[in-house]
Amino acid sequence: MPARERRDRPTGSDVCHWRATLDRQRTDRYTRGVSDDGELPAETIRYGVEDEIATITFNRPERLNAFADDMASRYLGALRRADDDPTVRVIVITGAGRGFCAGADFTRLETLDIDEVRRRALAEPRDVAMRVNKPVIAAVNGAVAGIGLAHALMADVRFTVPDAKWTTAFAKIGLVAELGTAWLLTQLVGTGRALDLLLSARTITGTEAHEYGLAQFVSEPGSLTTDVRAYARLLAANDVHSLAELRRQVRLDAGRSFEQAWHDGYDRVFAALERGRFRDARTRVRGA
């Protein structure tokens, strides 16, 4: 029998390179706004970088930026793009026009392919905003509800305008809390307040959201962008590795005992000292 041609298996580095290439292609496609099905306008997610700050904008102002499932991969791709960009130190998410994101687009929910949505969700986790290494700030410029609320709550810091309308909305439309909203609310405002907001589905103002602890800062509509960018620059001036580690600590420690958090904190401190990050950062501060 003729000898078979030997085909070498790809090495680990080949596979990593292949996966990285596919991920870049997918990210580029989504952040350019190219639709897989052609149904949505090309710029439903806008992306831009200025002064080390990446701004990701939900861009369907005619529908208060109602979220269609087709937008998910573009949004997640934009987050990955910002995280992979060494010139970006902080990520800001906001909405175009009068709203941040007024929840799911009902006109598309009626024709949703449930099996396809489930497949996408399993293949591409939706909590990328909590997994990236860089701080994420949500600039809530108007109505925020349902899945839009989930995206805002996944950010590290939230700014809001006083009259922005905040609501969970799920109970009013026969749905339940998605994307971990119940967990996020409980972490931020406690079980009692989370149950109130979920069961009543009542609407609160941005001022009330700040009082409840959902938003850390309130800005007047005319100064929201200025305030958010000033805060983003404050974060951008800090050590990027410290920012990434601090975000991980807060997320992980939420499910740990104090003793576990205490020991993990020491391990991370020693690791930072061994890597010389402290010395490098101290040198930068002294030279500032």
What would the DSSP string read from start to end of 218-240? E--GGGHHHHHHHHHHHHHTS-H
Q: Which residues contact 263 (CB under 8 A, 6 or more apart)?
A: none
Q: How confident is the model at residue 252 (pLDDT cuts 50, 70, 90)?
A: confident
Q: How confident is the model at residue 15 (pLDDT cuts 50, 70, 90)?
A: very low
pLDDT digits over 137-157, tens only? 999 999 999 999 999 999 999
Note the pLDDT of residue 116: 67
What backbone torsions phi and psi does residue 269 show, to the nearest 5 degrees?
-65, -45
| Domains, the chain | 19-237 (3.90.226.10), 239-288 (no CATH)
pLDDT digits over 154-199, tens only? 999 999 999 999 999 989 888 888 888 999 999 999 999 999 999 9
Instruction: Return mean pLDDT, the chain.
Output: 81
Using CA atoms, how far apart are residues 190 and 212, in angstroms rounded to an integer? 10
pLDDT digits over 92-103, tens only? 999 999 999 998
Residues 198, 192: contact at Cβ < 8 Å? no
Q: How confident is the model at residue 88 (pLDDT cuts 50, 70, 90)?
A: very high
Residues 92, 46: contact at Cβ < 8 Å? no
pLDDT digits over 37-46, tens only? 334 456 899 9
Q: How confident is the model at residue 255 (pLDDT cuts 50, 70, 90)?
A: confident
Least confident piece of the model among 54-58, 92-96, 115-119, 199-203: 115-119
Q: What is the dihedral of CA 170, 122, 100, 218, to 10 degrees?
A: 90
